[in-house]
Amino acid sequence: MSHYKSNMRDIEFNLFEVLNRDELLGKGPFEAIDGETARTILSEMDRMAREDLAASYEDSDRNPPVFDPATNSAPLPAAFKKSYQTYMESEYWRLQINEDLGGTPAPSSIVWAMGELILGANAPIWMYAAGPSFAGVVHKNGTDRDKQIARVMVEKQWGATMVLTEPDAGSDVGAGRSKATLNEDGSWNITGVKRFITSATNDMTENVIHLVLARPQGIDGVGGPGTKGLSMFIVPEWHFDHETGELTGERNGAYVTNVEHKMGIKVSNTCEVTFGDPQVGGGEAAKGWLVGEVHNGIAQMFQVIENARMMVGTKAIATLSTGYLNALEYAKERVQGGDLTNQAKDAPRVTITHHPDVRRSLMTQKAFAEAMRALVLYTASWQDQIQLAEHDGERNELAERVNDLLLPIVKGYGSERSWVLLGTESLQTLGGSGFLQEYPIEQYVRDAKIDTLYEGTTAIQGQDFFFRKIVKDQAKALTHINNEIDAFIKSEAGNGRLKVERELLAKGLEDAGAFVGNMINTLMSADESAEGGNIQNIYKVGLNTSRLLMVLGDVVCAWLLLRGAEVALEKLAGEVSPADKAFYEGKVAAAQFFARENLPKLTAEVAIAEATDLAIMELDESSF
């Protein structure tokens, strides 16, 4: 039986009943995919995820790839390769790809709904299959030569990687030391060692294209310190004819020199890659080609990173959702103890769903999993707006800003909440059995931990959220979201049934506003060019950026759940099937529970933030 339990009903509820995606399907850029086609794709992907993709989930963990230094590779287990091939043969990966590359444009919301199913069933399949999406970045930023390389990447279904991190440059990408030196023929020689490179070796594709950040040498005006001095290069594993894609048979000097032993997602090869080292492999030079022939590497790479951050958040919530549904199934069958209302020693034993603390736990899992699914799909709906504008040759700046604001919440808040709840609630529901490999949840916990780490740790998401997405944006996107939530609070949403929760949301929004205001004032007080400014005060901001991310995540999630509850209540007012009645009542219950359990805590979070002093920054390191 499959470990993966999807929640198609909730996915469809979000897409078609709350976000009304039928309105944009079947027309404009999405002409090829009408509402019926979208539903068929999701239903087929749901089946494939549960049956074919999930089939190798456990085996890939128990029999992970092992690095072979003789061949600089780590072959993947046969069962995983079979799942991967099934996905690639389905051709659904083309939905993310631009038409010029052989893709079928689809709204982001449909793509991320599909993504949830794949990422929940077996996330490394999505990661190894990302080559064509990487080709999209090469195509978008590239010269005619690069665009042709991108076409080849898609046609040949080659693997691809994002190559930023170095042993001494993780969060601090700008500390990278890899170098690029221009050759007479216009190519570049890359030298350096990169670490934590996902998918850098696989034995499923004939070639891997690395997108590498390196610092150009000896050219005026480029290659300076920090992230802005980095350029992005196309560095293949094997050389090929850029026009036809035919492999020349020559190895490029980009070699995997180690594969990490990890806590989770073990089948996803996490590699050290050495470029242009005469002692490694055949000692070949590592040749690369500058993307777009412009030195704009960090901005180009962030196109990949933004997509990958969305992927990580979606993976996290997909895992929490299947963790919850596994816990629910167990709880419905597990008989243990008597009901609290009957203390007699011979009282009938009941399933644990009768126990208040188990109900609290299950509803906590349900509420967060559904809140964060709503968050992912709501964010994706802004990406739909960006796509629509691009199709008309325009830009939708508001949609871009709001998407940017929401991304760290999807990634940072989504991964933190999911990883913690998987351990403290989903696994816990199974009692001691949760600790056993007989059930999937211990693997979920191990596989989900990475989500708070890669693609920018939670601390990085918190900083990005405050300094870039709020301060640098002059709170434009934040103001828009604030106004949307405020309008909901002031509406009659829920027709009386959500009155208490709208009041709680009003207080939560007020708390969030006070928190942001306090952070901005503290930031201004750190400006030494102003009278009385003290640079040390910036530490007070830094002590609270992750907290702010979590507080605003709670407010946005509460609002999205309550919006969904409003729709559910409208449906319940009409004729509904027994299954739909249970579903809609569950939506209302989850929204009310989330608001009542979480929003009151925000007042305390704001008070803690406002009382922040410099004590722990001033404490001598030896006292820690």
Q: What is the DSSP string of 464-506?
A: IIIIIIIIITTTHHHHHHHHHHHHHHHS-TTTTTTHHHHHHHH
Cβ-contact 258, 196 below 8 angstroms = no
Do the Cβ atoms of 448 and 419 come closer than 8 Å?
yes
Selected catalytic residue, list 166, 272, 442, 455: 455
Dist. CA 239–CA 158, nearest whole Å:
13
Angle at 312 between CA 309 and CA 446, to 5 degrees: 145
Beta carbon of residue 180, minimum distance to ligand ST9 (angstroms, whole number)? 18
Q: For ligand ST9, which is the closer residue by CB, 165 or 361?
A: 165
- Least separation in angstroms between residue 485's CB and ligand ST9 is 23
The CA distances from residue 96 to 101, 108, 126, 164, 412, in Å, are: 10, 8, 12, 23, 23
Task: Give 420 or 453: the residue with its C-beta nearer to ligand ST9.
Answer: 453
Q: How many CA atoms, within 13 angstroms, populate the side-chain half-sphere of residue 281?
A: 22
Q: What is the closest distance, in whole angstroms, from the C-beta atom of residue 425 to ligand ST9 in the complex? A: 26
Instruction: Give 408 or 440: the residue with its C-beta nearer to ligand ST9.
Output: 408
Cα angle vertex 314, ends 309, 319, to 5°? 130
Which residues have C-beta within 8 Å of that of residue 342, sequence separation ≥ 6? 348
| Residue 268 Cβ vs ligand ST9, minimum distance, rounded to whole Å | 7
CB of 569 to ligand ST9, least distance (A): 37
State how far the Cα of 262 lies from the Cα of 151, in Å rounded to an integer.
34
Residue number, 6 or 165, with CB nearest to ligand ST9? 165
d(CA 50, CA 327): 17
CB of 82: closest distance to ligand ST9 in angstroms?
21
Of the two residues 55 and 162, which places its CB atom closer to ligand ST9 in the complex?
162
- Amino acid (1-letter code) at residue 493: A
Q: How far is CA 275 from the centre of its chain?
A: 29
Backbone phi and psi for residue 68, each to the nearest 5 degrees, phi listed first: -110, 105
Q: Mind giving me the DSSP string for 496-551? A: TTTHHHHHHHHHHHHHHHHHHHHHHHHHHHT-TTSTT--TTHHHHHHTTHHHHHHH
Find the angle CA(322)-CA(328)-CA(330) to the nearest 5 degrees. 105
CB of 556 or CB of 590, closer to ligand ST9? 556
Q: List residues bridging with 213 in a β-sheet.
A: 232
Tokens of 112: 């991320």
Three-state DSSP state, 275: strand
Whether the CB-CB separation of 292 and 93 falls below 8 Å is answered with: no
Cα(first)–Cα(last) distance of the chain, in Å? 49
Q: In degrees to the nearest 10, what's the CA dihedral of 447, 589, 375, 498? A: -160
Max CA distance (Å), the chain: 88
Give the residue carrying structure tokens 């989903």: 426
Burial class (CB in 10 A: 0-12, 13-18, 19+), 426: buried
**Measured from the CB of residue 97, what is the shortest distance to ligand ST9 in angstroms?**
9
Q: Is-catalytic flag, 394?
A: no
Residues that bind ligand ST9 (CB under 6 A): 127, 130, 133-134, 136-137, 162, 164-165, 171, 173-174, 198, 226-227, 298-299, 302-308, 311, 454-456, 460, 464, 468
Phi and psi of 233, rounded to 5°? Answer: -120, 145
Minimal distance, residue 102 CB to ligand ST9, in Å: 15
Nearer to ligand ST9, 108 or 598 (CB): 108
CB of 174 to ligand ST9, least distance (A): 4
| Nearest-approach distance from CB 417 to ligand ST9, in angstroms | 19
Distance in angstroms (rounded) separating the CA atoms of residues 65 and 53: 18
Residues known to be catalytic: 455
